[in-house]
Chains A and B, each alone.
Chain A
Amino acid sequence: MGLSPRPEPNFTELSGDEPWITTKLDAFVNWGRKNSLWPMPFGTACCAIEFMAAAASKYDIARFGMERQAFSPRQADLLICAGRVPFKLAPVLRRIWQQMPQPKWCISMGACASTGGMFDNYAVVQGIDSIIPVDVYVPGCPPRPEGLLYGIMMLQRKVGNERMSDKSLRNEMEPDPSSQLYIPPSVIDEISEPFGNSVHQTRSGL
């Protein structure tokens, strides 16, 4: 912190008994951001049902400031991808992410969105982090609403610790124009390597 004397603020307008506080601008802005996230649900499969439970009265994500669900990416700052994403939907998800204005965050809800889950096959993207950047992964098949709420609270902590002076947080991710990928192909191949039972299922029957 600099040692130069701060200019004396002019508080003559305030009468003596009105309360006031000082805080860091970061803390103040982040407090506002994290408690009024506007989520856009991108529900493609069964996880979306659990998302609906989380949004409905019993679990009620409005308690965490998500009163307003945005069904347009242009008025949202949190993309919740709930469900598996087939390759045919990949350009759509990418487009929706690009349509969201900064600042924006993304939660990948469930095993399928995060890793492809049990669908280790020709049609399903093996983790949406190969299409768009993801802030919080919520495990489970499907995650219970409490799990999603926990993921949301993790995201709120992340938002709360951001610094406005760090412009790199708000950089728009630009995919490589020739391949449209934003992480190297070798990395994509590596993170979508088969694992577990599916190692033995490369070929069906032959």
Chain B
Amino acid sequence: MSSDSTSFSPVIAGSALGSNAAAPATPKNVAHRGGALNPTVDAIRAQFAGAVLRADVVWGETTVVVDRARVHDVIRWLHDDPSQAYNYLSDVTAVEFRDLEQPIEVVWHLRSLPYRRFIRLKVLIEKGTPMDVPSVWDIYKGADWLERECYDMFGITFRGHPDLRRLLMWEQYKEGYPLRKDFPLRGRFSRSEQLRQALAANPEARYSKEELSIADAFEDLPADMRRRLDTGERTGE
């Protein structure tokens, strides 16, 4: 990818398939399990020996379980290599299972627009091991909020993320990670305590100048707001 932000080359879906490729069509009668493996899996196997722990096809989509230590290299290669060109990260999320012995999975959904391919990468985090995986923010800038959401909901730390804060819950939220299985549906605190903590937050002070995109208009703001933003004050608890 060129770092020159002025040059822009449109991505044309299917452009790498050649002119006599079949027109895209909605697949019919897809089997639940089994079917053709995405050819990318063999390419990963060839490139990173031993990095692929498991690969299956479910509902026609390929899922690859990758070695935790090498997932960043794999994704970097999938993105950069012209024979793969996975240039779109559509989701980063995690799965925890009801069976608490089962490891937590961190999931990346990658899409290659030029080759019209989809692949799902997974990393298993065994219970009791530190919950951190490398951030792919340096490869896909769009991973920023996806990883923040995943951190917010599951407590997974993305190493190398530039600004890993809660996204959906407020920053000072103290009850834990809502999508974890040990999280009670109604939260850990009583309703009055939850409300007290929520109301203690100052809705204006939570954002930095940059987030409000008002850095230019900063001088025109009221003095008290300027002071709050300047000191980076984050009120609430």
Looking at B168, B178, B190, B198, which has the most chain A CB atoms within 10 Å of its CB? Answer: B198
Asked if B195 and A88 sit within 8 Å, CB to CB, the answer is no
Chain A interface residue count, CB cutoff 8 Å, equals: 31
- The stretch from A37-45, A71-79, A90-98, A106-114 touching chain B is A90-98
Provide the bound-state CA to CA distance between A8 and B187, in Å. 69
Q: A87 near B198 (CB under 8 angstroms)?
A: yes
Tell me which of B175, B184, B198 contacts A202 (CB under 8 A): B184
How many Å lie between the Cα of A179 and that of B190 in the bound state?
Answer: 14
Indicate whether A195 reaches chain B with its CB closer than 8 angstroms: no
Query: For chain B, which range describes its interface: under 10, 10 to 19, 20 to 34, or 35 or more residues?
Result: 20 to 34
Q: In the assembly, what is the distance between CA of A205 and CA of B179, in Å?
A: 11
Q: Is B203's CB within 8 Å of the partner chain A?
A: yes
Q: Considering the complex, give the chain B residue whose CB is closest to the CB of A120.
A: B186
Q: Which residue of A lies closest to B235 (CB)?
A: A91
Decide if A122 touches B192 in the complex (CB within 8 Å). Answer: no
Q: Which chain A residues border B192 with CB–CB below 8 Å?
A: 181, 185-186, 188-189
**Contact in complex: B187, A90 (CB < 8 Å):** no
Distance to closest chain B CB from A176 (angstroms): 9
A91 to B193, alpha carbons, bound, how many Å?
14
Over the window 162-188 of chain B, the binary record of Cβ atoms lying under 8 Å from chain A Cβ atoms (1 yes, 0 no) is 000000111000010010011111110
- A189 & B203 in contact (Cβ 8 Å cutoff): no
A132 CB → nearest B CB, Å: 11
Is there a chain A Cβ closer than 8 Å to B28's Cβ?
Answer: no
Q: Does A14 contact B (CB under 8 A)?
A: no
Apart from A90-B195, A122-B187, A126-B191, list 9 A-B contacts with CB within 8 A: A87-B198, A88-B168, A91-B198, A121-B187, A123-B169, A181-B195, A185-B193, A202-B186, A204-B183
